[in-house]
Structure 1
Amino acid sequence: MTATLRGAVAARVFLCFAMGYLLSYGLRSINAVIAPSLMAEIGLSNADMGLLSSAYFIAFGCVQLPLGIWLDKYGPRRTESGLLVIAAIGAAVFASSSTLTGLWIGRALIGIGVSACLMAAYKAYRQWFAPERQSQLASWMLVAGTSGALTATVPVTLALPSIGWRGVFWIVAAMLLLVSAAIFLSLRGLERRFAASSAGASAAHTNDGGYRFIFSNRYFWRMGVLALVVHGIFFALQTLWAGPWLMTMLGKTQQQTGEILFMLNLVLMLSYLALGWVAPRLRTRGINTHRVIGVGIAAMILAQVAMLFTQSEHAWILWLVLALFVPVTTLVQSQVALSFPASLAGRANSAYNLQIFLGAFIGQWGFGVLVDVLKSYGASPSDAFRATLAAAVAVQVAAYLYFVASRAQPSH
């Protein structure tokens, strides 16, 4: 059957998946806001906080490769709705825990549970919508995700005094169950309508050669190193260490930090919208995509370099500058998907996502460990944070130079 969803039915499909991704992205970012409360109540160190937050990313990353197989075998409706139940259980475990171990298990279950929120949407859109709608839908999903990050800043900050971080997670658990039910129940008929068009896809789960081909591809690694290092470190900063940096380095209060993080995610959302409009026009004018990626990644790194040397009252604006260029990473992922045959596009995206979340896990945990180690050797908190970000910048520069030096090109 030809994929031609329009009108109210199309809106229902988009909203179901968009709400799932909104919650996923919000849960990814929320620790940057609740970190001071968690550290004070549970008695966590910086390294503990980094390990706790990174549980989401390592669990999420571990699921990415089998996720591609599950989506092909069971479809996006059943896969995402089932996993969101696990996320709800994880939120409940997190809300009721009083030890690092309990919090880590809850956070890891959340990571597993929301692992399909973007990939399931992309698979459903490919099956149920016309080809010319794909880039627009992908852009709107990123806007929905960034909206989730926005809800995890000022709204959560305002809710903390009245219901605390535990109350926030109980509410999130209920919302995850509602979205799971909406996807499972309201999309059942659509899945049956389009079952015939995807009947051949289920055979893909028996062929592991797809991943072998992807991971042996030189072009995948040219782009994948940017996901692992640059995108991964940004996620580590956005979802955890931006908040402590603003408070430690710039002396911001928790409320001011929440407001700045809100603005950061607002700029990020608007930048995604702008890129969705600009990117096709760049291609029609013959502007090289790799050159655009190179300029954007360089700008991200330079913004972080400026943070190392600026502690003025308005230095927080540099975080907005960083957010302005982050959407260029979506071009990287698009290049990866387009560089493989359509039959491998889903697994190529999952493999790329694995690099991002592996990098975020290492970045979140490693940042906290290095800060604590430097402080144990007598460094002040501000010097420890500055030296740790400098190390992160150095690794990103190395990844950028590899991307620039590599001559690998898409083979498809």
Structure 2
Amino acid sequence: MTSSSAAPSSAPPGPAARGPWVVLMALCLGFTLSQAFRTVAAMMAPPLQAGLGLSPAELGVFAATFHFAFGAMQVFMGIGMDLLGVRRTVLLAFPLAVMGSVLCAMAPSFAWLVAGQALIGVGCAPAFLACTVFIARAFPSARFAAVSGAVMGLSGFLQLVLMPRTLGIALLASITYASFIALRGLWLGPMLTQQYGLSLVQSGNVALVVSLTSMVGPLLFGRVSAVGLGRRRWIMGFTLGMAALFLLLALLHSVVATVVIAIAIGFGCGYIVLQYADVRASYPDALTGRALAVFTMAMFLGVAVMQWVTGLAASAATAHGIDPYKVVNLTVTALLLVGTAGFAWLPRAVEER
């Protein structure tokens, strides 16, 4: 008997084998678009203030609306992916982002601008979740399994939220990433152009460097091998370090110092990967997915709240003749301290693994 039929084939993978990778690349492009929408407020702030006469508070609402819509829709997008599958959910949602983009581009007033941002947020809501769900399962589950899984998932979310440990974890999650996005995605551009006279191109270059630096941080912070209470101490220490950087940003009035500190904040926010590790270790295996979903939702809703609150702070500062950017950075500093205190003092988990 010949063994030719049993010999392994050296032919390259066919279309069926490459299919999941093609789909994943398409989903990643959608997530990239979502990232662009998330940070566009920083670059658009000066033109919007000039063209529509937006106050700092309105600018904060404009930036926050995307994140409110994005974060609030996460659970619904997850249910949609369980019931309809990743493909249909994305195809139903993403056209809303296109409509919102057109509406923002043609918006004659602040109200229309906010409506467009809300549509963009809803349209981009499945972007990140679609990637993770598709990686977890290349093909949708059967309808019965999906429906029963969705029901069990909702009950699991309730169980998760009622755990005392969740409050401290979610509180810090809602502030750490939000502080970085508030700087890079909203206030960095206006601060550099209005306070220090940089052009939009120059401020955009600074934002690019900050963004690139933020990609390096997770690679290095991910090598921190502390576990349990040791890891939580690292998380609190790094958060206090971020608070110190924002305090320096408020007190130092130098374009060089501002750029250097912004880059340092971009790098420093990489410690957020330790929070993911803390979440994973704080819940049993059966709740890991839902715990990470709650953590992610807290992060994005925190971004919305942070941008809204800092917008109110900047508007109040302007009304009283105080430097709005100083007040914004002091507000972020205070919120980071509150998050650290909550993480330290609220009930914490005994690690499950």
TM range (shorter): 0.7 to 0.9
Which of residues 248, 255, 269 in structure 2 aligns to 1:306? 248
Aligned counterpart, 2:161: 215
Aligned counterpart, 1:110: 120
CA shift for structure 1 position 411: 6.2
Aligned counterpart, 2:5: none
Q: 1:295-342: per-residue Cα shift (whole Å, max 9, x none)?
A: 332222221122122223411110010011112213313432454455
CA shift for structure 1 position 373: 1.6
Any conservation in 2 of the 1:54–1:360 contact (CA below 8 Å)? yes
* Rounded Cα–Cα distance in structure 2 between residues aligned with 1:343 and 1:334: 16
Q: Does 1:409 pair with 2:349?
A: yes
Pairs aligned (count): 336
Any conservation in 1 of the 2:240–2:336 contact (CA below 8 Å)? no
The one-letter code matched in structure 2 to 1:356 is M
Which of residues 246, 258, 267 in structure 1 aligns to 2:213? 267
Matches within 5 A, 1:17-96: 17-96=27-106
* Rounded Cα–Cα distance in structure 2 between residues aligned with 1:219 and 1:286: 14
Structure 2: which 5+ runs fail to align? 1-14
Q: Which has the larger radius of gyration?
A: 2
Aligned counterpart, 2:189: 243
Change beyond 3 A, Cα 1:6–1:349: farther
Which of residues 376, 384, 391 in structure 1 aligns to 2:324? 384
**Sequence identity, in percent?**
24
Any conservation in 2 of the 1:305–1:390 contact (CA below 8 Å)? yes
* Rounded Cα–Cα distance in structure 1 between residues aligned with 2:75 and 2:27: 20
Aligned partner of residue 326 in structure 1, secondary structure: helix
Matches within 5 A, 1:12-411: 12-128=22-138, 191=139, 195=141, 200-207=145-152, 208-275=154-221, 278=223, 282=225, 288-315=230-257, 316-337=259-280, 339-379=282-322, 383-410=323-350
CA shift for structure 1 position 201: 4.3
Any conservation in 1 of the 2:34–2:127 contact (CA below 8 Å)? yes
The one-letter code matched in structure 1 to 2:127 is C
Aligned counterpart, 2:10: none
CA shift for structure 1 position 41: 1.6
CA shift for structure 1 position 76: 2.0
Change beyond 3 A, Cα 1:199–1:19: farther
**TM-score scaled by length of structure 1:** 0.74
Change beyond 3 A, Cα 1:6–1:232: farther
Any conservation in 2 of the 1:250–1:311 contact (CA below 8 Å)? no
Any conservation in 1 of the 2:172–2:339 contact (CA below 8 Å)? yes
**TM-score scaled by length of structure 2:** 0.86
Aligned partner of residue 314 in structure 1, secondary structure: helix
Any conservation in 2 of the 1:119–1:346 contact (CA below 8 Å)? no
Any conservation in 2 of the 1:337–1:349 contact (CA below 8 Å)? yes
Change beyond 3 A, Cα 1:33–1:17: same
Change beyond 3 A, Cα 1:125–1:376: same
Aligned partner of residue 348 in structure 2, secondary structure: coil
Q: 1:167-193: per-residue Cα shift (whole Å, max 9, x none)?
A: xxxxxxxxxxxxxxxxxxxxxxxx3xx
* Rounded Cα–Cα distance in structure 2 between residues aligned with 1:405 and 1:249: 38
Change beyond 3 A, Cα 1:359–1:105: same
* Rounded Cα–Cα distance in structure 2 between residues aligned with 1:10 and 1:331: 30
CA shift for structure 1 position 43: 2.0
Structure 1: which 5+ runs fail to align? 129-190
Instruction: Kindly report the root-mean-square deviation, in angstroms, between the aligned alpha carbons of the 2 structures.
Output: 2.6
The one-letter code matched in structure 1 to 2:151 is T
The one-letter code matched in structure 1 to 2:186 is L
